[in-house]
Amino acid sequence: EKMVKLLIDHGAAVNIEGGEFGSALQAAARHGDEVNVRLLLEKGADVNLKGGEYGSALAAAAYQGCETVVRLLVEN
């Protein structure tokens, strides 16, 4: 959480696409990381970005089986 916050506070774009998971939000969702999912959403991460191994953050969270993260993504 601290590293993600530090990067965002220093100008890291939350919607950059690339890598295995496609986006930081998808990576956090795949790992069931509710804290960073919340932080990324608060900072404007786009829940609808497509790409990466799972296609979307919602699909990644569902694959992980993390109901809390799935709910967060659906609500946003």
Over residues 45-61, the pLDDT tens digits come to 999 999 888 999 999 99
Q: In this structure, which topology does domain 2-75 adopt according to CATH?
A: 1.25.40
Predicted TM-score (pTM) of the model is 0.88
Domains of the chain, by residue range, sit at 2-75
Q: Say if CB 51 and CB 23 are below 8 A apart.
A: yes
**Of 3, 54, 8, 9, which Cα lies nearest the Cα of 32?**
54
Give the confidence band of 17 by pLDDT, cuts at 50, 70, 90. confident
DSSP secondary structure letter of residue 3: H
